[in-house]
C-alpha cells in the first residue's frame, strides 16, 4: 500500500493562509449581503437637501404596504440592527402622489461634517443600511455635481447616475427636467434609476432638486422630494465659504421670488466667499432651438450686483462655458465679457443627462466653448477658488472610483471636455 506524503511545511502554511483568506472573503461577502438585505416594504430612497445641510436632511421613500416605516439612525454604524441605534423618528408626513406613498422624515439638529447611519423598520422587516455625510460648518473644501435634463434615454441617465456614484460628491444639484412626462410612469422610472447613485455599501448622495419645464405640475417636486411649495430656497456650506441659491425659472423671476432673492442676499450674502445659483432655463441658450430666457434674465443684474461667482443652467441639451460676464443691455448680446471684474459671473450648462441632444450652434463673443454630448459639471469649492470640470459619461464602465483622500483627482478612465481645445479645468478665483 502506497503511503501519501505530507506536503512540505512551507506549502502547508500557504494552504492555511489561503483558507483564512477565502474564509475572510466569504465572511465579508456575507456581511455585505446582510447589509444590503431589505425585508421591509420600502423602496425608491432619496436624501434631499433644501434647508441647512450642516444640520438638516430629509429622507424620502415609497412605502409599498402597511404603516409607514420608522427611521432608526445615529453616528455609529449598527448595520440593520435597528434596536442599537441611538435615535429614531417617525414619519413627518406622507404624500400620496403618482401611485406612490412618499414618506418623508426630516432630521434636524445633526452634527456638521459627520457620517450618519440609518435603516428603516416597518411591520414587515428592516431595510438595508444607509449612510450619508452632513455638510461641513467650517470653511472646508468639497465637491458637488450639477446638471439636468435626464428625460428620455434611460441608458444615458443610468450612466450619468453611476458616474455620480463613482465621483462621490458631497451633493448633486439637479437643475430640472428629470422626467419627460410628468406622470407616474416617468417618476417611477426616474426614482428607480436614481438608486444607481447609491453605493453598494449604502452611501446616499444628497440631491438638491430644481424644477424644470417638464415638471409641468407645480406640486411634483414638493411631492416627490419634500421641498417648499414654490421650490426655491438657499443654504450655506462651510459657514461663509459658500451659499447656494435654488431658483425656479418656471415661475416669475421677479415678484415674490425676486423680492425674496434680493432680501435674502441683503441679509445673508455679506462675507460669503462664493455665491452660486442653479435653475433650469438659461438666459441665453446656446442652441437655435431655444428662445431667449427673458424671465431668467431678470436675475442677471441681481447676480452681478451681489457678485455671484457661478450660475448653472440647463434646458438646451448642449454644453457651454462662458467668460465672466456682466449684464449689458446696450447691445444685442445682453452681456459683455468682464474677466477682471470681481462681480462678474461665469455661466455653465445647459443640460445633457439623458435628454435628446441639440445642435450647439449659437455662440456669443463671450462664449468660451459649446458642444453636444452627455455629461455634467463636477465642481470643487475651495476657500481660494472654484474649479470646474465638465465630465463625459459615455465611458462610465471604464471609469474608476474617486480617491476619498483626494476627491478632485480624476479617477482612472475619466474623460473631460476641453472647450475649443483649451483648458479642461476652469478656475474661478475668489473675489
Q: What is the pLDDT along the chain (431 residues), one digit of tens a residue?
A: 444 444 555 444 544 444 444 444 444 444 556 889 999 999 999 999 999 999 999 999 999 999 999 999 999 999 999 999 999 999 999 999 999 999 999 999 999 999 999 999 999 999 999 999 999 999 999 999 999 999 999 999 999 999 999 999 999 999 999 999 999 999 999 999 999 999 999 999 999 999 999 999 999 999 999 999 999 999 999 999 999 999 999 999 999 999 999 999 999 999 999 999 999 999 999 999 999 999 999 999 999 999 999 999 999 999 999 999 999 988 789 999 999 999 999 999 999 999 999 999 999 999 999 999 999 999 999 999 999 999 999 999 999 999 999 999 999 999 999 999 999 999 999 98
Q: What does the block give as the cell for 420? A: 475649443
Q: Is the peptide bond before 350 cis (omega within 30 degrees of 0)?
A: yes
pLDDT score, position 215: 98
Strand order in the sheet with 274-278: 233-237, 242-246, 274-278, 310-312, 346-349, 319-322, 367-371
End-to-end CA distance of the chain: give it in Å, rounded: 89
pLDDT number for residue 8: 55
Residue 18 main-chain phi, psi, to 5 deg:
-65, -40
Look at the block and give the residue holding cell 449689458: 328
pLDDT of residue 15: 45
**DSSP bridge pairs for 381:** 142, 386
- pTM score: 0.92
Q: Looking up cell 409599498, which residue turns up?
A: 64
Helices (H) and strands (E) in the chain, counts: 6, 24
Domains of the chain by start residue, with CATH: 42-133 (2.60.40.10), 142-429 (3.60.21.10)
pLDDT at 25: 40
Distance, in Å, from the CA atom of 296 to the CA atom of 285, rounded to the nearest integer, reads 11
Q: What is the pLDDT of residue 431?
A: 81
Amino acid at each position: 500500500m502506497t503511503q501519501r506524503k505530507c506536503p512540505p511545511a512551507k506549502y502547508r502554511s500557504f494552504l492555511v493562509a489561503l483558507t483564512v483568506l477565502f474564509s475572510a472573503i466569504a465572511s465579508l461577502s456575507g456581511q455585505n449581503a446582510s447589509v444590503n438585505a431589505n425585508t421591509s416594504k420600502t423602496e425608491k430612497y432619496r436624501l434631499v437637501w433644501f434647508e441647512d445641510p450642516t444640520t438638516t436632511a430629509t429622507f424620502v421613500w415609497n412605502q409599498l404596504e402597511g404603516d409607514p416605516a420608522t427611521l432608526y439612525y445615529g453616528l455609529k454604524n449598527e448595520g440593520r440592527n435597528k434596536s442599537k441605534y441611538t435615535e429614531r423618528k417617525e414619519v413627518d408626513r406622507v404624500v400620496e402622489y403618482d401611485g406612490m406613498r412618499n414618506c418623508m422624515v426630516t432630521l434636524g439638529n445633526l452634527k456638521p461634517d459627520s457620517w450618519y447611519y440609518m435603516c428603516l423598520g416597518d411591520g414587515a422587516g428592516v431595510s438595508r443600511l444607509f449612510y450619508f455625510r452632513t455638510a461641513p460648518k467650517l470653511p472646508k473644501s468639497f465637491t458637488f455635481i450639477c446638471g439636468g435634463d435626464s428625460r428620455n434615454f434611460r441608458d444615458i441617465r443610468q450612466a450619468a447616475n453611476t458616474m455620480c456614484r463613482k465621483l462621490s460628491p458631497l451633493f448633486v444639484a439637479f437643475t430640472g427636467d428629470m422626467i419627460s412626462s410628468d406622470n407616474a410612469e416617468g417618476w417611477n422610472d426616474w426614482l428607480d434609476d436614481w438608486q444607481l447613485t447609491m453605493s453598494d455599501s449604502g452611501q446616499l448622495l444628497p440631491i438638491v432638486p430644481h424644477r424644470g419645464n417638464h415638471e409641468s405640475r407645480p406640486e411634483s417636486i414638493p411631492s416627490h422630494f419634500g421641498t417648499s411649495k414654490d421650490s426655491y430656497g438657499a443654504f450655506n456650506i462651510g459657514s461663509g465659504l459658500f451659499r447656494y441659491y435654488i431658483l425656479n425659472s418656471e415661475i416669475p423671476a421677479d415678484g415674490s421670488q425676486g423680492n425674496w432673492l434680493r432680501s435674502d442676499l441683503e441679509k445673508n450674502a455679506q462675507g460669503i466667499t462664493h455665491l452660486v445659483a442653479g435653475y433650469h432655463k438659461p438666459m441665453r441658450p446656446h442652441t437655435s432651438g431655444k428662445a431667449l430666457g427673458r424671465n431668467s434674465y431678470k436675475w442677471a443684474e441681481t447676480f452681478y450686483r451681489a457678485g455671484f461667482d457661478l450660475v448653472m443652467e440647463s434646458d438646451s441639451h448642449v454644453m457651454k462655458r462662458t467668460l465672466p460676464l456682466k449684464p449689458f443691455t446696450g447691445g444685442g448680446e445682453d452681456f459683455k465679457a468682464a474677466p477682471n471684474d470681481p462681480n462678474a459671473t461665469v455661466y455653465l450648462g445647459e443640460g445633457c443627462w439623458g435628454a435628446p441632444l441639440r445642435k450647439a450652434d449659437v455662440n456669443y463673443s463671450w462664449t468660451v466653448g459649446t458642444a453636444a454630448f452627455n455629461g455634467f459639471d463636477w465642481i470643487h469649492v475651495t476657500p481660494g477658488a472654484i474649479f470646474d470640470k465638465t465630465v463625459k459619461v459615455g465611458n462610465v464602465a471604464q471609469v474608476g472610483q474617486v480617491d476619498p483622500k483626494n476627491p478632485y483627482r480624476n479617477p482612472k478612465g475619466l474623460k473631460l471636455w476641453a472647450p475649443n481645445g483649451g483648458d479642461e479645468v476652469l478656475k474661478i478665483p475668489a473675489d
